[in-house]
């Protein structure tokens, strides 16, 4: 191979499609890698491969990234149980697996030059660059950042650039930036960026309310040490479970939301997201965890989870603190074993039944119903438990 070989993380979208002729015209032999992390069907996968060939790449490979995404992200994320800023379910986390696939391809080709289609305004550039820098001595080329030095209307410039060279642009790519993977789908651009209500075109997997099925959907999930291992009694690999949950809950509109929050680079970010399977999985896991963990575990674990989520969101995938936190999260899941039944009538999902040998039930007591202690013991507990507040009221009443 020559020294001009470059590996481009490729999705077939507007940005990465633009990158191919842009890089070729600057002397690079472009080798594209599509890490299929489960968000596309066979037709879309074929389109991406055909798109790469149409654009004239030197080579194209497709990698099955679903298993790596489940093991590397979904397991610790569900164990953590927290979205970024309490909302966003980190649907961008496949970026790290895309980096891994791109680096593996670069190693096979004998080059140390990696390219991506991230803009200079977003968070993905941070995730890509930091993950690459933490993995070795690589050169990073970012064509979208380069053209943003001279062009303010970047998407319009990219569209014109491709069309002038005879390459079509999909209609939906003209209106929105769309990212899909096993975790879910995100959309930005258009009226979303303008802080207006999303248009009818800003919809992906989740059906609108008028199309929800009338029948109630119930799904059973089995967990072993905090990891989903079976759905409706059938054991499946984790990535397959998540894909099936996506297919089951999307017709009911579960997992669709709009997120506005603080980005890594300091701007406010606004997106529409759809994550039917992941939201269902989180609901089931949370219900089981709340029943089997101690009061102190349930109080403390969210603090660890929030820090883990921040590290992943902001690009610190390889930071040792992330590994340290994952060790705690794994330890907390030793008794998170059991079955949970989920139910939806549309729009939201609830855990309606929980079964586990580890539920922290007191044999002689039921909350607000019966107890195996006496009234005097209850009164004594209340007196001691509230003594500090009671004393404050008494002391300050006397000194008023």
At 366, the pLDDT band (50, 70, 90 cuts) reads low
How far apart, in whole angstroms, are the C-alpha atoms of residue 16 and residue 18? 5
* DSSP characters over 91-102: GGGHHHHHHHHH
> Can you give the pLDDT at residue 1?
44
Element (H, E) at 204: none
Neighbours of 119 (CB within 10 A): 17
- Name the range with the highest mean pLDDT among 91-100, 266-275, 340-349: 340-349
Q: Which two tokens stand for residue 353?
A: 């039944």
How far apart, in whole angstroms, are the C-alpha atoms of residue 353 and residue 78? 19
**pLDDT tens digits, one per residue of 46-72:** 999 999 999 999 999 999 888 899 999
Phi, psi of 395 (to 5 degrees): -65, -45
Mean pLDDT of 301-327: 96
Phi, psi of 258 (to 5 degrees): -120, 130
> Can you give the pLDDT at residue 375?
84
> Can you give the pLDDT at residue 174?
61
> Can you give the pLDDT at residue 228?
98
> Can you give the pLDDT at residue 164?
94
**pLDDT tens digits, one per residue of 141-165:** 999 999 998 888 888 899 999 999 9
- Higher pLDDT: 309 or 203? It is 309
Neighbours of 20 (CB within 10 A): 27
Whether 329 and 76 have beta carbons less than 8 Å apart is answered as yes
Mean pLDDT of 181-210: 89
Phi-psi group of 260: left, alpha or beta (phi > 0 → left; psi -120 to 50 → alpha; rest → beta): beta
Q: Which domains does the chain carry?
A: 5-177 (3.40.50.620), 208-256+274-355 (3.90.1260.10), 366-400 (no CATH)
Reply yes or no on whether the pLDDT at 177 is more than 70: yes
pTM for the complete prediction? 0.86
Whether 59 and 34 have beta carbons less than 8 Å apart is answered as no
């Amino acid at each position: 191979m020559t020294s001009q070989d470059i590996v481009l993380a490729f999705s077939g979208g507007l940005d990465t499609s633009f990158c191919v002729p842009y890089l070729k015209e600057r002397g690079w032999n472009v080798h594209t890698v599509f890490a299929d992390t489960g968000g596309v069907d066979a037709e879309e996968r074929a389109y991406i491969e055909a798109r790469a060939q149409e654009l004239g790449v030197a080579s194209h490979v497709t990698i099955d990234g679903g298993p790596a995404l489940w093991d590397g992200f979904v397991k610790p994320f569900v164990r953590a149980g927290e979205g970024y800023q309490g909302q966003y379910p980190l649907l961008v986390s496949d970026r790290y697996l895309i980096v891994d696939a791109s680096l593996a391809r670069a190693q096979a080709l004998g080059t140390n030059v990696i390219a991506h289609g991230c803009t200079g305004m977003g968070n993905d550039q941070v995730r890509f660059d930091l993950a690459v820098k933490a993995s070795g001595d690589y050169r990073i080329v970012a064509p979208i950042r380069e053209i943003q030095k001279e062009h303010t209307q970047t998407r319009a410039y990219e569209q014109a650039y491709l069309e002038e060279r005879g390459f079509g642009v999909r209609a939906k790519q003209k209106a929105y930036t769309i990212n899909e993977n096993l975790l879910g789908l995100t959309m930005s651009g258009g009226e979303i960026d303008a802080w207006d209500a999303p248009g009818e075109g800003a919809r992906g997997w989740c059906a609108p309310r008028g199309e929800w099925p009338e029948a109630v959907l119930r799904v059973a999930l089995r967990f072993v040490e905090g990891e989903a291992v079976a759905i409706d009694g059938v054991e499946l690999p984790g990535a397959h479970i998540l894909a099936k949950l996506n297919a089951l809950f999307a017709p009911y509109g579960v997992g669709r939301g709009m997120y506005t929050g603080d980005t890594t680079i300091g701007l406010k970010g606004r997106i529409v997201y759809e994550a039917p399977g992941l939201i269902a999985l989180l609901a089931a896991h949370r219900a089981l965890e709340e029943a089997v963990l101690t009061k102190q575990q349930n109080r403390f674990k969210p603090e660890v989870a929030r820090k883990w989520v921040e590290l992943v969101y902001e690009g610190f995938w390889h930071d040792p603190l992330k590994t340290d936190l994952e060790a705690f999260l794994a330890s907390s899941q030793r008794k998170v074993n059991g079955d949970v039944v989920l139910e939806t009538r549309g729009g939201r999902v609830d855990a309606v039944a929980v079964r586990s040998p580890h539920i922290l039930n007191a044999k002689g007591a039921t909350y607000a119903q019966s107890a195996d202690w006496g009234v005097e013991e209850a009164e004594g507990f209340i007196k001691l438990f509230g003594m500090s507040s009671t004393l404050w009221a008494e002391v300050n009443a006397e000194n008023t």
